[in-house]
Amino acid sequence: MTVRRRPRRRRRARRPAGAGLRLPGLALLAGLLAGMAAGAQVVPYEVVEDGIPAPLDGRVGDAVRGRAIAVDRQKGLCMLCHSGPFPELRFMGTLAPDLAGAGQRWTQAQLRLRLVDPWRLDPGSIMPAYHRVDGLTRVAAPFAGRPILDAGEIEDLVAYLATLR
């Protein structure tokens, strides 16, 4: 009598957190977030090397408002992926770099481009483009053509991130 053995099941390799979250998922996230800047239009900007040197709306942002956007879990959603110097927040993300020291690592021009269109620097980035509407897919119809953050909100975030040294 021959005994048949069951073939062994192969265990799946564990994927790191966020490994499945790539461009399609981010495009959807960007589409959902786009409704937050209702009525806002994308402001034309010029990229010079690895940054956008001129403020999008011609003014210097407000760091206090920028911090409020960064920690707001309904507006900027920064803490979904990033951690940072926010003692009042209980849960923060671990998928993206810690925001502490962002103002030391990058210039304001570099920060601005990373917020406006991070895919220009890293096409595989999981960070949504906060002030871009072209080239996105899977955007719900009510949110199409609207940026996630308006130009003033981008400048407020840049002003705040620049203070993190």
Q: Where are the domains of the chain?
A: 45-124+149-163
Buried b (16+ CB within 10 A) or exposed e, 115-125: bbbbbeeeeeb
**51: three-class secondary structure by DSSP:** strand
Local confidence pLDDT in tens for the 165 residues of the chain: 566 666 666 655 554 444 444 444 444 444 444 444 555 789 999 999 999 999 999 999 999 999 999 999 888 889 999 999 999 988 999 999 999 999 999 999 999 999 999 999 999 999 989 999 988 887 878 778 899 999 999 999 999 999 999
pLDDT single digits (tens) 92-128? 999 999 999 999 999 999 999 999 999 999 999 999 8
Q: What is the pLDDT of residue 14?
A: 52
Query: Is the Cβ–Cβ distance between 127 and 22 less than 8 Å?
Result: no
Is the backbone of residue 138 left (phi > 0), alpha (psi -120 to 50) or beta?
A: left
Q: What is the pLDDT of residue 139?
A: 81
How far the first Cα of the chain sits from its last, in Å, is 75
Query: Is the Cβ–Cβ distance between 130 and 116 less than 8 Å?
Result: yes
Q: Closest Cα partner for 148 from 27, 59, 48?
A: 27
Q: Domain 45-124+149-163: state its class.
A: mainly alpha
